[in-house]
C-alpha cells in the first residue's frame, strides 16, 4: 500500500537530497510526482464520466468537547499505527502518537498592569485573563510569557468584541467539510483557528476572534512551566 502513497517517497526523497544523495532523492521525488499526476488524471476522468461534483460533508451534531476527544483519539491511533508499520518500538510509537494530537497555538505576550487589572499585551491586541489567572500572573508583571490557546478555543466574532478581541489576518485556509482551518497572523506572530463551514472568507481578510480565557494557558518563557496551574510532579 505504501508504494501508491506519494507522501512516503516525497519525504524520503527530500531526506536523500538533504544528505546529498542526489540520484536516489531525484528518483523518489519523480516517482511521487508520477503517482500524483496519474491519481489526478484518473480522478478527473472518472469525475467527468460520472459527472461527480464536490460537496461539503454533512455537519456533525456533536459537542465541542466530544469532537476534541475524538480528534485526539483518532490522531493518536493514526500516528501510532504508522509508527508500528515501520517497526518502531512500542514506547516510541506511544510518544509519537501523543505528539500527533491537535496542537496548541503559542504567542509571546507581555504581562502588564492597567487600571488595577493584570492584562497581557501581544502588540496587536490586549487580553484580560480570568481573576485566578491574574492573581498568578501578577508576580510576572513586566515580563514576557507564552500564551497558549487551542484552535478550537478561538471563537469567531462577526463584529469586534468589546473585550479580548483579536483582529487577525487570513494568510491561508483549509476547508475540511465539517469545519475550516484558518491560518491567521498578527503583526509578527501566526496561529490557527478552527471554525464552522458557515464561516467563509478569503485570503487577506481580517477576522475577529475572542479566546476562551478559562481554557487558555500561560507558560514561563525561561522555564516553560505552567504559571497558572499547579502541576504535580511525580519524579
CA distance 149 to 169: 17
Residue located via cell numbers 493518536:
76
pLDDT above 70: percentage of residues in the chain = 85
pLDDT of residue 89: 63
Residue 210 pLDDT > 60: yes
Q: How many CB atoms lie within 10 A of CB 40?
A: 10
Domain boundaries, the chain: 2-50, 64-99, 105-220
Residue 97 pLDDT > 70: no
Out of 77-86, 182-191, 205-214, which region has the weakest mean confidence (pLDDT)?
77-86
CA distance 16 to 20: 6
pLDDT of residue 158: 93
Question: Rg of the chain over CA atoms, in angstroms?
Answer: 22
Beta-carbon contacts of residue 13 (< 8 Å; ≥ 6 apart): 24, 25, 26, 27, 28, 29, 31, 32
Q: How many CB atoms lie within 10 A of CB 79?
A: 19
List pLDDT tens digits, range 147-205.
999 988 999 999 999 999 999 999 988 887 778 889 999 988 989 898 988 888 988 99
Q: Exposed/middle/buried for 127, CB within 10 Å: 0-12, 13-18, 19+? A: buried
List pLDDT tens digits, range 16-53.
788 777 887 888 889 889 988 998 899 899 999 998 88
**Banded model confidence at residue 93, pLDDT cuts 50, 70, 90:** low
3 state SS of 199: coil
Top pLDDT among 210 and 11 is at: 210
Which cell is 205 given?
481578510
pTM of the model: 0.57
Q: Exposed/middle/buried for 194, CB within 10 Å: 0-12, 13-18, 19+? A: buried
Q: How many CB atoms lie within 10 A of CB 183?
A: 17
pLDDT of residue 101: 54
Q: How many CB atoms lie within 10 A of CB 10?
A: 17
78: left (phi > 0), else alpha (psi -120 to 50), else beta?
alpha
Mean per-residue pLDDT for 204-209? 95
List pLDDT tens digits, range 110-157.
999 998 999 999 999 999 999 999 999 999 999 999 999 998 899 999
CATH superfamily of 105-220: Nucleic acid-binding proteins (2.40.50.140)
Among the listed residues 14, 43, 41, 45, the one whose alpha carbon sits nearest the alpha carbon of residue 30 = 14
CA distance 200 to 43: 26
CA distance 122 to 115: 18
**Is the CB of residue 149 less than 8 Å from the CB of residue 109?**
no
Amino acid at each position: 500500500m505504501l508504494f501508491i502513497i506519494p507522501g512516503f517517497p516525497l519525504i524520503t526523497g527530500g531526506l536523500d537530497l538533504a544528505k546529498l544523495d542526489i540520484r536516489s532523492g531525484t528518483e523518489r521525488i519523480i516517482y511521487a510526482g508520477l503517482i500524483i499526476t496519474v491519481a489526478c488524471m484518473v480522478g478527473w476522468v472518472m469525475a467527468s464520466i460520472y459527472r461527480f461534483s464536490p460537496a461539503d460533508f454533512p455537519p456533525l451534531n456533536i459537542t465541542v468537547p466530544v469532537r476534541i476527544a475524538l480528534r485526539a483519539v483518532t490522531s493518536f491511533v493514526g500516528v501510532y499505527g504508522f509508527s508500528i508499520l515501520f517497526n518502531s518500538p512500542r514506547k516510541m510509537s506511544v510518544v509519537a502518537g501523543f505528539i500527533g494530537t491537535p496542537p496548541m497555538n503559542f504567542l509571546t505576550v507581555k504581562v502588564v498592569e492597567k487600571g488595577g487589572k493584570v492584562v497581557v499585551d501581544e502588540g496587536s491586541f490586549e487580553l484580560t485573563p480570568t481573576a485566578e489567572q491574574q492573581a498568578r500572573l501578577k508576580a510576572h508583571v513586566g515580563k514576557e510569557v507564552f500564551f497558549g490557546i487551542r484552535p478550537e478555543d478561538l471563537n469567531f466574532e462577526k463584529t469586534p468584541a468589546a473585550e479580548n478581541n483579536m483582529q487577525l489576518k487570513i494568510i491561508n485556509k483549509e476547508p475540511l467539510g465539517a469545519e475550516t482551518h484558518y491560518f491567521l497572523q498578527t503583526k509578527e506572530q501566526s496561529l490557527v483557528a478552527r471554525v464552522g463551514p458557515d464561516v467563509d472568507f478569503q485570503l487577506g481578510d481580517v477576522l475577529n476572534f475572542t479566546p476562551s480565557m478559562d481554557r487558555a494557558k500561560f507558560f514561563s518563557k525561561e522555564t516553560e512551566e505552567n504559571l497558572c496551574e499547579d502541576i504535580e510532579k511525580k519524579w
